Amino acid sequence: MKILLYLQKNLVYVLPFVIIIGIYVGKDMDVSFLKTMILPFTFLMIYPQMVNLNVKKIFEKPNNKLKLASVLLNFILIPLIAYIIGKIFFSNSHLDAVGLFLIALLPTGSMTLAFTGMVNGNLPASIRISIFSLLTASFLAPLYLYQFMGEVIEINFLLITKKILLVIIIPLILGIITRFFIVMKVGEERYKKEISKKIGTFSVVGVIGMVFSVMAMKAGFIVDDPMKILLYVIPLLLFYGFNYSISTVIGKIFFNREDALALVFSTSLRHLAISLAVAITSFGEVGFQMAIIISIALVFQIKLGSIYVKFSKKIFKN
């Protein structure tokens, strides 16, 4: 457990190492066996996060203005900017454009709640936005992919819908059941203080395993053109820069500090674990290429989120 906690706290430093090792192993070895590990890694990434989502929060009285702002950002502005960035930077690399668009379609995740808690933001509101956004994305993402990316890649609408529902809804249902029985046995307070963090750490195993698998299986592609990795830097910086900038401006204008911070982290951060799982399970072999930019985005997302946490007091002065 201590090892998992260490990996989770230092994931921003661990992931570049995992990427390098994955490429090194994959360039010389037959790693086709890793395909059989995709489903287990997917389950490990997503299920623990779903256990820690308290779905009761969604039935509490919501801040409708905050909810509306999150919907506009998560399902209109952010997908639109990802689509434009993809058009500009990946005009000759359609799979990368789809990968970036997929990142934009699946908002929030465990990092959202972690960072919101760190800055004393409105955590209950963040939880409500997270659950609502995941459920909304499970139905809108296939439609958006078909509508916007059908021109550059064959989109099997029914298959993608099925895979997204499988990746989101089933772990969510299992997570609700698991949390119910644990809380029934030990109580809500003990669950929050002792168990939730332990459960959450298991996600790191799935994330590391999935990133390693993606890099190992696409090692030949990366080794043939090592500069390919660097070409993701500017598009990802622009994507996250826009996310943080627009959500911060809206937060400062329309909301108090706690609600504004909940909005920032509920929209700027994306559920990259689900994006990875959807890319690989829905698109077959080409999904692994889409997954490269998603894997690199993990490093950016953690680091940029940490930087924002550090400067949040200056950004939102009381």
Q: Cβ of 259: how many Cβ atoms within 10 Å? A: 19
Please give the Cα distance from 251 to 159 (Å, whole number).
Answer: 37
Evaluate if residue 76 carries a pLDDT over 90: yes
pLDDT, residue 318, reads 59
Query: Which domains are seen in the chain, by residue range?
Result: 2-310 (1.20.1530.20)
Question: Per the structure block, which two tokens stand in for 223?
Answer: 């080794």
Residue 73 and residue 13 in contact, taking contact as beta carbons nearer than 8 Å: no
pLDDT in tens, 115-146: 888 888 898 888 889 888 988 998 899 999 98
- What mean pLDDT, rounded, does the chain reach? 88
Question: Per the structure block, which two tokens stand in for 46?
Answer: 């997503």
Beta bridge partners of 107: 270
The most confident of 97-101, 131-135, 221-225, 275-279, by mean pLDDT: 97-101
Q: How would DSSP label each residue in 261-283? A: HHHHHHHHSB-HHHHHHHHHHHH
pLDDT, residue 229, reads 80
pLDDT band at 160 (very low <50, low <70, confident <90, very high): confident
The most confident of 28-42, 62-76, 189-203, 232-246, by mean pLDDT: 232-246
Residue 66 and residue 255 in contact, taking contact as beta carbons nearer than 8 Å: yes
3-class secondary-structure state, position 318: coil
Please give the Cα distance from 145 to 98 (Å, whole number).
Answer: 8
Average pLDDT (79-103) is: 94
Largest CA distance in the chain: 57
Residue 236 and residue 81 in contact, taking contact as beta carbons nearer than 8 Å: no
Q: Which helix (H) or strand (E) holds 245?
A: helix 233-254
pLDDT, residue 200, reads 78
Compute the CA torsion angle 134, 101, 205, 195 (nearest 10 deg).
-20
Query: Whole-model pTM above 0.85?
Result: yes
Of residues 165 and 242, which shows the higher confidence score? Answer: 242
Question: What are φ and ψ of residue 24, in 5° steps?
Answer: -60, -45
Please give the Cα distance from 283 to 15 (Å, whole number).
Answer: 24
Question: What are φ and ψ of residue 13, in 5° steps?
Answer: -95, -30
Of residues 79 and 39, which shows the higher confidence score? Answer: 79
pLDDT, residue 1, reads 67
Evaluate if residue 237 carries a pLDDT over 80: yes
Evaluate if residue 106 carries a pLDDT over 70: yes
Please give the Cα distance from 251 to 119 (Å, whole number).
Answer: 14
Evaluate if residue 230 carries a pLDDT over 90: no
Evaluate if residue 80 carries a pLDDT over 70: yes
Question: What does the chain come to in residues?
Answer: 318
